[in-house]
Amino acid sequence: MQEEVPAADRNTTSEPTSGQARARSATSAALSWLRDLFLSVVIAIVVILFLYQPVRVEGTSMQPTLENEERIFINKFVYRFGLADIGRGDMIVFWFPQDTSKSYIKRVIGVPGDTVEVKEGTVYINGSPLAESYVSPEYRDHLSKAAEVMKADEYFVLGDHRNSSNDSRSWGTVPRSYIYGKAVFVYWPLDRLGVLH
């Protein structure tokens, strides 16, 4: 036979007081916040190390596409794992071949197998003039460079501001192994916010 609980004892429970409940709720919220913060930091580290990295543009060699002191994101993933080929027109970030402690950003003009020639400031690829809408007329120069065939895994790069760019015309091509990112997005200043082309 089941024993009945006396009426006087029916209101006695082991439920926590409202103060204990609030303390547990605050602890739970704090732990949840710390967990989310930790995950956010881990994700940010992974993104910066392997996917996207913020960098600051120094110099005027890529004007008008990029301005001095602009902040951009570079995609470090797309080339590293072979998800995309380095193509003509890409803005790449690479270790400067003559001093690998420095990084440069330039536009790819010639890819492996191309014959690149510059005549009076006009670039010719495999004998045909290259349409370069990204080079403003006031930034063009009249330099020439003899025709050169790109070997496997080397790239001919130029700045968009031809008058002030130190590039493949003066120091040669960039080895594939020195290229570590593609410029993809301007995030500062806000009035320049947008995808790079």
Query: What's the confidence (pLDDT) of residue 15?
Result: 54
Torsion sign, CA atoms 111, 98, 48, 65: negative
pLDDT of 49 reads: 55
* 106 annotated active-site: yes
Model pTM score: 0.75
Picking from 170, 182, 192, 161, the residue whose alpha carbon sits closest to that of residue 60 is: 161
* Catalytic one of 61, 165, 168, 182: 61
Query: How many residues appear in the chain?
Result: 197
DSSP codes of every residue in 73-139: EEESHHHHTTSS---TT-EEEEE-TT-TTSEEEEEEEE-TT-EEEEETTEEEETTEEPP-TTS-GGG
| Residue 163, token pair as written in the block | 């008058």
Rounded Cα–Cα distance for residues 93 and 13 (Å):
68
CA dist 22 and 41 (Å) reads 28
The pLDDT tens digits of the residues spanning 103-159 come to: 999 999 999 999 999 999 999 999 999 999 999 999 999 999 999 999 999 999 999
Q: Please say if 119 is a catalytic residue.
A: no
Does residue 6 register a pLDDT over 50? no
The catalytic position among 76, 106, 165, 168 is: 106
Q: Who contacts 194 (Cβ-Cβ below 8 Å, separation ≥6)?
A: 185, 186
